[in-house]
Chains A and B, each alone.
Chain A
Amino acid sequence: MPQTVSAKICEAFFANLARLEDVKPETMEGLKALYAANRMAESRHLDRLVQEMENRYAQVEDADG
């Protein structure tokens, strides 16, 4: 079955995202997992992803003292 336009756009999006220095690999993985579960449009799942991002930055802050 041919790839849907939506899937094609998402594929291009992830390829473009991988080129961005600002976006961490863990965030990419989290987004891809949401996409695979068809949950990327759901705010509460995105909020959870954002919380995980904050936790990771908090760990870095803690490590930096």
Chain B
Amino acid sequence: MPKLKTLTARSLRGIVETTLPLDGRSVVLLGENGAGKSSFVDALEFFFTGRVSHLEGAQTISTTRHAPHLRAGRDATVVEVEFDHPAVQVSRTFEGLSGVPADLQSFIEQGANSTFILRRKNLLDFVLARPADRYAQLAAIIGVDNLDKVERALMGARDDLLNQKDSRERQIRTEESKLNELLGEVVADDAQTLAALNKKLAELKQPPLGSFDEIEARKVAAVAQSRAPHDTERAVKVQSVLASVAALRSNALFPEVYRKLWNEVGALQKDAARVREMLFQEVLASSHRLIADFGLDYCPVCLQPIERETLLAALEKRVREAQEIAKKTSDIKRLRSELADRFGRQITEIEQLVSQVPELEIPLEKPLWDQYTALLRNLLSALRADPLDMHFPSFDETVQTPEVTAFVASMGELLETLETEKERLEPTEQDKLAVAIIDLLTRVVDSRHELNTLRPQCRIKAAVYREVAAIYDCFVSTKRTEVQGIYRELESNIERFFKLLHAGEGYRDVKLEVNEGRRASTEIKMNFYEREQEDPRAFSSEGHLDSLGLCVFLAFVKRFNQGFPVMVLDDVVSSIDSGHRQRICELLFQEFGDYQLFVTTHDYMWFDELCAHQRAYRRGHLFVNFQILDWSLDAGPRLDKHKPCWERIERKLVSGDKDGAAADTRKALERLLYELAIATETPVVIRRDGKYVVSDLHGPFVSRIKRLVPEVYEDNLEVFQELETNSIFGNLLVHNNPRAANVSLEEVRSFSNAVKNLEAVFSCDQCGRLAEYHRAACLIKCHCRDGGIMWATRR
């Protein structure tokens, strides 16, 4: 497999121009927060994929705008990688890759399609995520996140079709009830309509129609039979327009449903913050279940102690509120659809009237009618918005505008004119009969035409909906089955890795389940002692959850990145304690020994541990360890080869950097005592923030050693006494203590030697690791199988 010999980044993120000389080896990169470690990770991601994923997914940031260095344009951004086999240099710019030989093509393509970077943020998000978000992360690793977009697009197409079909069905029902009312009976098809129409014609003493084709001739004949054909025709039109205007005016222009919708939307918008509760509904309900079912007396998310009954009552209230909000938004959707139909029909009716009235040579204040139609169109457009973004005037404001008042007045005037015209055209009995016949026939023809247009449209929409729904269902079930299959393949590795990290801690049977009931959702379950298939959050610390997330990632990498053995762990072990971190080292070396690893950390201890493990596993030649000394905007990160902790301190002592050496020594002592306290199971007063200072740990640790292995204490009495004498500095040198200025360089050196000597007592010369207490075996021992540290402890 090709290995990376050098990685050179120019004008990318915090890097101005820096080369990481790798020579095909793995790299461990140490640096404070903000020193530019992640810029190297970004450079690697940009090289293989052309993007920086954490800069995407939000509207305000993007790879193109924010990946280039702050003071450089995107044209200056280049990442160059020199490979060993084949020995070539490949460059990536925003224009793409150049210099890729054919035999490297497949490797680089796999890099582009693989998820090989695990960032701290991903790890934290993973286990604590909602099932849907967790699914999204796994989908990105598996490489099926694009399919999720397909699923959403198919679902959108299906739902649009369903809405269109439902809307046609509503229109058909309205038109059918109009026709049934006109004919005085329920008619289902043309034959029944013709039969019912003939009955109506018989009531008017008219011969039956043989078919609908005869209607136009029958209307002409009816007009001809009337005394004044022209007036009769006009009377029919006046009658029809009069009926339409009267109907428009009598059916409230702004129905009650509008007031209701406005009130509902108004209430929802006033309480927009509560809408977010809907998003948490599932988390709240799960939390309630967890706390109630398992009788937890701590929060399953943040592990803080809780007043159970009070929290349960509060959760119940919030779940209820979230359900109410969900119901309200659903009501708003229904009202919105109903109102949109209603306004749409009004617009059609008004448009018809606007063209019919002038034909009768009756004046119509067209601008008023146009204004009103425009108002309705605006309302229709406002109705399409999301309820929280819906902006339209209140019911009273809409009804009481001058435009609406003028429109209503105009309708009143038009009605009066039409009534006068109707009276002027007061027909004879013969005319009345002709008008009734023509009106009946015209309305039946109109309704039939409308239904004959709507029904096939509805059938087409229904057929396409069925087909698209079948496609969507098939897509979802195929994806679910395949993804679940992949999860099954991965579970054994996840479990194996997790057991390696947490041997004997009661965890087993880690399962990833695609949630059947929800779209794109993954549950994570595991057994903990006798409790089966529980949410890991119920029984795990943050460190355990982090290492579970890490194991899932590693299992995915092992399964999917076989042709691309490159893996990046960007600052991912912060919350994991020393014992478990050592096992992570073992896991990485055992399972990913053939990978080119990029590990970044801000944690000096983890950095030193990784370096120690390289030596212990005889893999030093496969690693290169760098420390970022500092970073500046104009120069970028400044790299230096790794210096072990004591070498760094010594260098500072020699250069007279008393404060630097003192601070590093104090940190080293804090870390050492912390790790020794864990390794020896020393009881200490728990600090909620997890931050311990020397005075918290020193006394309890020494007491523990005196009790467990008094002879070790006696043999190293000088070391303990030296530390006792100097530990005052540990407390004195706490941040910003003004009295620390009085400490001399020699006193710092003496303090440094005391800490170093303590570390030497409990560190194994052979395996380089701290000894640990094994309670069951009554031993304090290191990891060496033979030799090394092994002290029998008192019971």
Contacts and interface: CB of A to CB of B under 8 A. Distances in A.
Interface string B468-487: 10110011011101110010
B456 A61 contact: yes
Nearest to B476: A13
B159 to A, nearest CB: 11
Chain B binding surface SS class:
helix
Nearest to A45: B153
Interface string A23-52: 110010001000000001111001100100
Given A5-B486, A9-B479, A41-B150, A31 B464 contact: no
B406 interface: no
B699 interface: no
Nearest to A50: B157
Contact of A9 (B147, B471, B560): B147
Chain A, interface size category, equals: 20 to 34
Given A1-B106, A6-B147, A61-B456, A47 B466 contact: no
Given A12-B482, A43-B157, A6 B146 contact: yes
Interface string B138-170: 000011101101101110110011000000000
Interface string B37-65: 00000000000000000000000000000
B113 interface: yes
Contact of B460 (A4, A17, A61): A61
- Number of chain B interface residues as a range: 35 or more
B112 to A, nearest CB: 11
B464 A54 contact: yes
Contacts of A16: 474, 477-478
B213 to A, nearest CB: 15
Contact of B467 (A2, A12, A23): A23
B463 interface: yes
A47 B456 CA distance: 20
A9 B147 CA distance: 9
A12 B161 CA distance: 25
Contacts of A8: 482
Given A5-B486, A10-B147, A27-B471, A61 B459 contact: yes
A46 B153 contact: yes
A24 B142 CA distance: 31
B471 A43 contact: no
B144 A5 contact: yes
Given A23-B471, A27-B471, A43-B156, A13 B464 contact: no
B444 to A, nearest CB: 21
B419 interface: no
B461 interface: yes
A1 B459 contact: no
Contact of B482 (A9, A50, A53, A61): A9
A16 B156 CA distance: 21
Contacts of A53: 464, 467-468
A24 B466 CA distance: 11
A8 to B, nearest CB: 7
B142 A40 contact: no
Nearest to A57: B460
Interface string B102-125: 000010011001000000000000
Given A2-B563, A6-B146, 5 more contacts: A9-B482, A13-B478, A41-B146, A57-B460, A57-B463
| 6 closest Cβ pairs, A-B complex | A41-B149, A22-B470, A13-B478, A57-B460, A41-B150, A9-B482
